[in-house]
């Protein structure tokens, strides 16, 4: 088993309140003016450390006509940090389908629409994919502004040197029987398999891996990547359960099932 805990890092907290559905004005310095060609811009944002954002992302957020955000208050904190003032409109999993028509209409009338999720890349286990597909199907331009993603961050950190490939599963289904069946299907891949998991189900996942795939399977866990309490732990489910008896398992996890 190995553990690492790096130094301090700025973190973004996920607000608990309900998602807002109206336009929110964010205070800060005035926008520097337009100049962005009309279209949809998928913008990567930090997965924890607010410094993990590109210059291009900041420029697009500053100059887009309209900003669509998974949670307007959450993104408001990022914008305030960089003193960006923007018109924010919500775009989350409950309204993304209906928002697509609005985005297309706005782009047709010349708008540059930037879309961000709460963290990382839009469309990766997050809203954004439906909007991108709809805008492209309408024959309008879609541009990506790449940024961090928890999957690539964890795979790089794990250093899976034995195989050139990995498989990204994202979140397993919440239903126990479906999760267990899926673990067996993925076991046939013979390469590292990457899952997203929350603090609520991480211990359950360890039990499931042990019971379905055997007690000797090794997992690499990356918790709170780029944040103050970033930690990695590697070992069998028994070793990892033992670790969490004395260490917190709060926060966000990327789980890599090693082949
Ligand atoms: N779009 C994001 C991306 O590109 O990585 C993923 C969003 S998904 C709703 C959130 C999940 O990603 C979390 O439950 C966790 O599994 C993973 N995640 C996001 N940020 C993380 C972090 N800082 N450390 C570990 N896992 C993280």
Q: Which atom of ligand 1 sits closest to the CA of residue 195?
A: 16
CA of 121 to the centre of ligand 1 (A): 9
For ligand 1, atom 8: residue with the closest CA: 125
Q: Where are the domains of the chain?
A: 16-145, 150-257
The more confidently predicted of residues 30 and 89 is 89
The 10s digit of each residue's pLDDT in 209-220 is 999 999 999 999
Q: What CATH code would you report for 16-145?
A: 3.40.1010.10
CA of 126 to the centre of ligand 1 (A): 9
User: In CATH, what class is 150-257?
Assistant: alpha beta
Residue-averaged pLDDT of the chain: 89
pLDDT of residue 172: 97
Q: How much is the pTM? A: 0.89
DSSP letter for 116, please.
E
Average pLDDT for 163-191: 95
pLDDT over threshold 50, residue 16: no
- Chain centre to alpha carbon of residue 107: 25
The 10s digit of each residue's pLDDT in 106-147 is 999 999 999 999 999 999 999 999 999 999 999 999 999 999
Is ligand 1 within 6 A of the CB of residue 248?
A: no
For ligand 1, atom 19: residue with the closest CA: 150
């Amino acid at each position: 088993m190995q553990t690492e805990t790096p130094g301090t890092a700025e973190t973004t907290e996920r607000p608990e309140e309900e998602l807002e559905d109206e336009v929110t004005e964010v205070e800060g310095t005035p926008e520097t003016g337009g100049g962005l060609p009309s279209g949809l811009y998928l913008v990567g944002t930090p997965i924890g450390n607010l410094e993990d954002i590109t210059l291009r992302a900041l420029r697009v957020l500053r100059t887009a006509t309209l900003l669509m955000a998974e949670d307007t208050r959450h993104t408001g904190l990022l914008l305030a940090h960089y003193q960006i003032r923007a018109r924010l409109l919500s775009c989350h999993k409950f309204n993304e389908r209906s928002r697509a028509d609005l985005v297309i209409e706005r782009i047709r009338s010349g708008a540059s629409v930037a879309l961000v999720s709460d963290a990382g890349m839009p469309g990766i286990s997050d809203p954004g994919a439906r909007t991108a597909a709809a805008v492209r199907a309408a024959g309008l331009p879609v541009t990506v502004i790449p940024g961090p993603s928890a999957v690539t961050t964890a795979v790089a950190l794990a250093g899976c040197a034995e195989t050139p490939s990995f498989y990204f599963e994202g979140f397993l289904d919440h239903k126990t029987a479906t999760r267990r069946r899926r673990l067996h299907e993925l076991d046939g891949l013979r390469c590292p398999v990457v899952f997203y998991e929350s603090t609520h189900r991480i211990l359950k996942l360890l039990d499931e891996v042990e019971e379905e795939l055997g007690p000797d399977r090794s997992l690499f866990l990356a918790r709170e990547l780029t944040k103050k309490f970033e930690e990695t732990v590697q070992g069998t489910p028994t070793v990892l359960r033992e670790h969490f008896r004395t260490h917190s398992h709060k926060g966000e996890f990327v789980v890599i099932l090693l082949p």
